[in-house]
Amino acid sequence: MIESLGNNDACVFYGVWGSEWFGGAAMLRLIFCCCFMGGGSLDAIVWRADLSEAPNEAKGEMKQVGKVHFSVLKVFGASCVALGGEWVLTCRHGTDQWSKVGMSVSFPSLGEKSYKVEKVIFPEKGDFALLKVDRKIPKTKVLSFFEGKIEKGQRVWIGGFGIAGPTGSAKEGGTFHAGHNRVDGMRGGKISISLSKPEDETVEKDEATISRFDSGSPIFVETKGGWKLAGVASTASNGGNPGYGDRGNYARLSDLGDWLKAQMGVERGRSR
């Protein structure tokens, strides 16, 4: 079945199948979602109302932000980030309810190709899903992980493919968007940000927050050594149409310890 998650989840649709394949009723529901509920390309990130538009050109690490498609109908259901090679990171919620049959990922900034998901791996805890695709994703670099202490005021960079628009006018339809923000602190064990008002002292010029379909999108922390991946989008206090003060929360990568590196079979230095 297809269900709508509440505003606490940035990912909107998920499916429950009794086997690797699904029947006619489930297929009809998927067709309905694709035709009437925005299963196609969606736009991402909600930004300040006084801005005409958030940055929509993927640069640097943001070129590795992509989309997760579920089922053979390629229903867009979440965002993701390419870690390098054939590895992709996204959110667990939603992903764990779909069969990997027909699951694929795509990276619009890197070309029109899609990559078949061959393996889905979940850690014992945390809102993470590690995907291994059928071949190496070209034009990507191995991302550096931020595993240090998250502190209030740290500058972060976010981007994804969810619902978007100025504050109070978010809607579906469009392409990738990105923006910056500042960490409010940790909330429920997750990295928490909120959308500041234009007159706030610490507001970013392109301040943004997450909305629906941004689940699994990355949050990068600014360091002296560049932007480091610190987590993926997990929940939002108002995923449907965020306003000033609404929160976005990210599952923290450091909670995984060495699990991620062990699964990928690579050694990465810790950034602090």
Parts of the chain with a pLDDT under 50: 1-8, 10-44, 173-174, 267-272
Tokens of 24: 């006619």
Contact (Cβ atoms closer than 8 angstroms) between residue 103 and residue 146: no
Quote the pLDDT of residue 176. Answer: 83
Q: Which CATH class is domain 155-255?
A: mainly beta
Q: Which residues pair with 111 in a beta bridge?
A: none
d(C-alpha 193, C-alpha 102), whole Å: 34
Q: What is the CATH number of domain 2-41+61-133?
A: 2.40.10.10
- Characterize the bridge pairing of strands 46-47 and 165-166: parallel
Quote the pLDDT of residue 69. Answer: 92
Hunting for tokens 């990912």 — which residue is that? 11
Convert 43-54 to b/e letters by CB count within 10 Å (16 or more is b): bbbbbbeebeeb
Sorted by where each begins, the domain ranges of the chain are 2-41+61-133, 155-255
Entry pTM: 0.81
